[in-house]
Chains A and B, each alone.
Chain A
Amino acid sequence: MSILIDGSTRVICQGITGSAGAFHTKGCLDYGTQMVGGVTPGKGGTKDPNGLPIFDTVHAAVKATGATATMIFVPPPFAADAILEAADAGIGIICCITEGIAVQDMVRTRSLLDDRYPHCTLVGPNCPGVITPGKRLPDGKGFTGGCKIGIMPGYIHTHRSDASTGRAVGIISRSGTLTYEAVWQTSTLGIGQSTCVGIGGDPVKGLNFIDALSMFNADQETDGVILIGEIGGQDEIDAGRWIQKHMKKPVAAFIAGRTAPKGKRMGHAGAIIGGENDTAQAKMDSLRSCGVIVAESPADLGSTMARALGMVGAAV
């Protein structure tokens, strides 16, 4: 089990003929994802280098391939429209990797999704995507049964059945590379991952911590959750309160940006300290008060999770 996506998910790529779209379509295919096609307006009827069919519209792609998820690499000025096109075509899981979408575009898009396409789950934008790790093939040269939608390096992930502890955790993160760090550290400690969700670094986005926490809470194959937040906004504080009330599984957390100066945007559009309550320290204190184990150092993401899982013997 897993959340959002699994080996049966049928995926298209919007922007498949662009350099990033093409590169990562291949990466997802290599990981074992069921990539079934792509969309680039004006290139319908052709095929990509992997032989995948390309369509002019998402509607046509869904009709021909039965796609249930999409991975968006459309350039920022057109990406919000690409999200709405996917929703309108009935796609259930929309992963928008694109970085740099205008805030007002996302305000309108998110509101339209909520009002008119409630069946849709948007992940991102400005995120690494979602991965449900597959099992390692006996020859060690790849994975099977998993699904990778996005830009993360697949090989660092571990399926529960390949993990020496037999455990698997879910990961929810606002940051891409910091997620890889968490995956790497848990894999090294013999802890697998059920699903890793990059919710993205933008101020207005789709799936949030609480949405993903609630899915992991209900997923039988998830033993605990790592939550990776950062400065800006108060989603982590809301997540802490939700965890205190509803979460049945241990949660370990890390908040990036304790040294970030006030008022400066730190790379991510959403990572800017506004008031007193969106500093890293305020978030760490609040999460701790809600029963979450918070790592002091980004090097302790894995060991903190191990501790939260009660793995006393783990090298922590």
Chain B
Amino acid sequence: MRVHEFQARQLLAEAGVPVPAGGVATTVEEAVQAAQSVFASGGAITVVKAQVHAGGRGKAGFVKVCKSVDEARTAANFMLSNRMVSLQTPPEGLEVRRLLVASGVDIAKEFYVAVLTDRSTRRNVLIASAEGGVDIEHVAATRPDAILKRPLDPVTGLHPHMARDIAFRLGFKGKTVGQAADIFLKLARTFIEKDATLAEINPLVLTPATAAHPDGQVVAIDAKFTFDDNALFRQKQVHAFFDPAEENASEIRANEFGLSYVALDGTIGCLVNGAGLAMSTMDIVKLHGGEPANFLDVGGSASEEAVTEAFRIILSDTRVKGVLVNIFGGIMQCDRIARAIIASAKAVGFQVPLVVRLEGTNVKEARTLLEAARGDIPTMQTAGDLTDAAMRIVAAVKG
């Protein structure tokens, strides 16, 4: 599950990590008030940042450094009245509903730090780099030695000596070593306690030396957290961060029925059981010249109602020009799918071509049922194997 930057900041602040003062605004007026309070407390600049679940905000003009309340007003007005389009958003962009208006921070140096689970070592690992503020994947690809990795103990987590070691190796000096190490410890603890799958601070900033802080100070400027869906049952606070407005409505509806659905941009709707087979079905559609409209795994124990709902979701996508059903019945019984197809033909109606490929548990009963219902579902074809099914649906959609 993804959360907004301001929510990630809240978790960091609660854990004791220093973050610049700031407020969340949903209107231009609120943004102006937040900016006023930044300037009133002695800040020289304020940063207005769109809160959306997508990256590329800076380049899209949805992160603005403002030197006056008027500039903040202009920035807030622009962000709340335009959709944000970046490489990471759909082509039509995302609506911006919230802004983070934070106090600006002077920067002497930017760092990167994150905690995530490394699958190959099966350990949580802290990753840090003295080259922060930029795309970390780019640093990893071009200068792998610029990235430090420190595995956490699977049972006890990150120890202070590990955190200090990382701080020294990143080049922190004097009092900032302790500040940085403390942030690493708190980030690692938050990652584990909140069942995060990614806890990232980028950039982590060292401020310039001042009379009060001759070594500078270490502050978290931007944070990105994602969480383990499987652990939400025990993470009430994180679960409450869920923002349905940021997610695809069909994906949420599918979820409520126990279906796993991901919308894509092709024309062939796919209904499959099992995640691996569902991905493979998309692949074989593409291999034969079609474009999948979605990933949809109905799972092993979906009811007839859930499968009918799955058809409803697929057919509600106006780009869908045909539907491919591919079921290898194990736990899922093919006759249940057949009954759902027949029920959906009545409840939803198949205006577009439908190709059905069934194999496995109770396949004979299922074929008999579909054969008997053929007159009611004129757009339906049945397929012998996977290749036959893919070729039929691609031909039907093109035809």
| Chain A residues engaging chain B, CB cutoff 8 angstroms | 20, 23-24, 76-77, 100-108, 110-112, 128, 151-153, 156, 173-181, 184, 201, 203-204, 228, 230-235, 238, 254, 256-261, 264-271, 275-276, 280, 296-299
Interface size class of B (residues with CB under 8 A): 35 or more
Q: Majority SS of interface residues in chain B?
A: mixed
Interfacial chain A residues near B119, Cβ < 8 Å: 203-204, 232-235, 270
A298 to chain B, nearest CB (A): 4
Query: B230's contact among A76, A107, A151, A259, by CB below 8 Å, is which?
Result: A76
Q: Is the CB of B283 within 8 A of A298?
A: yes
Interfacial chain B residues near A259, Cβ < 8 Å: 264, 279, 282-283, 285-286, 292
Query: B330's contact among A77, A102, A152, A268, by CB below 8 Å, is which?
Result: A152
Q: Which residue of A lies closest to B300 (CB)?
A: A151
Q: Is the CB of A267 within 8 A of B295?
A: yes
Q: With an 8 A cutoff between CB atoms, is B313 at the interface?
A: no
Query: B275's contact among A20, A228, A258, A266, by CB below 8 Å, is which?
Result: A266
CA distance A299 to B276 in the complex (A): 13
Q: Is the CB of A184 within 8 A of B359?
A: yes
Interfacial chain B residues near A266, Cβ < 8 Å: 260, 262, 275, 278-279, 295
Interface residues of B in 167-201 (CB under 8 A from A): 192, 195, 197
Q: Is the CB of B283 within 8 A of A268?
A: no
CA distance A203 to B117 in the complex (A): 9
Q: Is the CB of B279 within 8 A of A180?
A: no
Stretch at the interface among B34-42, B61-69, B120-128: B120-128
Q: Is the CB of A100 within 8 A of B230?
A: yes
Q: Which residue of B lies closest to A198 (CB)?
A: B276
CA distance A174 to B260 in the complex (A): 17
Interface string of B256-267 (1 = CB under 8 A from A): 000010101000
Q: With an 8 A cutoff between CB atoms, is B348 at the interface?
A: no
| Chain B residues engaging chain A, CB cutoff 8 angstroms | 117, 119-120, 122-124, 137, 140-141, 154-155, 192, 195, 197, 228-231, 233-234, 260, 262, 264, 272-287, 292, 295, 297, 300-301, 328-331, 359-361, 385-387, 390
Q: Is the CB of A238 within 8 A of B284?
A: no
CA distance A175 to B283 in the complex (A): 15
CA distance A156 to B264 in the complex (A): 33
Q: Is the CB of A177 within 8 A of B328?
A: yes
Interfacial chain B residues near A184, Cβ < 8 Å: 328, 359-360
CA distance A270 to B386 in the complex (A): 25
Query: B284's contact among A100, A271, A280, A299, by CB below 8 Å, is which?
Result: A299
Interfacial chain A residues near B231, Cβ < 8 Å: 102-105
CA distance A177 to B300 in the complex (A): 9
Q: Is the CB of A238 within 8 A of B154?
A: no
Given A103-B231, A153-B329, the answer on whether A297 and B387 have CB atoms closer than 8 Å is yes
B7 to chain A, nearest CB (A): 19
Query: B385's contact among A24, A176, A299, by CB below 8 Å, is which?
Result: A299
Query: A102's contact among B137, B230, B282, B361, by CB below 8 Å, is which?
Result: B230
Q: Is the CB of A267 within 8 A of B278?
A: yes
Q: Which residue of A lies closest to B194 (CB)?
A: A104
A315 to chain B, nearest CB (A): 12
CA distance A153 to B331 in the complex (A): 7
Q: Which residue of A lies closest to B276 (CB)?
A: A175
Q: Is the CB of B120 within 8 A of A181?
A: no
Q: Which residue of A lies closest to B152 (CB)?
A: A107
Interfacial chain A residues near B275, Cβ < 8 Å: 175, 201, 230, 266-268, 271
CA distance A111 to B153 in the complex (A): 9
Q: Is the CB of B122 within 8 A of A107?
A: yes
Q: Is the CB of A260 within 8 A of B300?
A: no
Interfacial chain A residues near B117, Cβ < 8 Å: 103-104, 107, 203-204
Q: Is the CB of A180 within 8 A of B328?
A: yes
Q: Which residue of A lies closest to B295 (CB)?
A: A266
- Can you list 5 A-B contacts with CB-CB less than 8 angstroms, sorted by A residue number? A151-B330, A230-B279, A256-B280, A297-B387, A298-B281
Q: Which residue of A lies closest to B283 (CB)?
A: A258
Query: A238's contact among B120, B272, B387, by CB below 8 Å, is which?
Result: B120
Q: Which residue of A lies closest to B331 (CB)?
A: A151
Q: Is the CB of A267 within 8 A of B273?
A: no
Q: Which residue of B lies closest to A268 (CB)?
A: B275
Q: Which residue of B lies closest to A267 (CB)?
A: B275
Q: Is the CB of A111 within 8 A of B122?
A: yes
Q: Is the CB of B386 within 8 A of A299?
A: yes
CA distance A265 to B283 in the complex (A): 16
* A261-B264, A298-B283 given; 7 more Cβ-contact pairs under 8 Å: A103-B195, A112-B155, A177-B274, A257-B279, A259-B279, A266-B295, A276-B141
CA distance A233 to B137 in the complex (A): 15
Q: Is the CB of A201 within 8 A of B230?
A: no
Q: Is the CB of A103 within 8 A of B230?
A: yes
Interfacial chain B residues near A265, Cβ < 8 Å: 229, 262
Query: A298's contact among B120, B122, B284, by CB below 8 Å, is which?
Result: B284
Which of A101, A234, A260 has the most CB atoms of chain B within a 10 A radius of its CB? A260
CA distance A201 to B297 in the complex (A): 14
Which of A228, A259, A261, A268 has the most CB atoms of chain B within a 10 A radius of its CB? A259
Query: B122's contact among A110, A128, A177, by CB below 8 Å, is which?
Result: A110
Query: B120's contact among A24, A102, A234, A260, by CB below 8 Å, is which?
Result: A234
CA distance A23 to B283 in the complex (A): 33
CA distance A235 to B283 in the complex (A): 20
Interfacial chain B residues near A234, Cβ < 8 Å: 119-120
Q: Is the CB of B230 within 8 A of A269?
A: yes
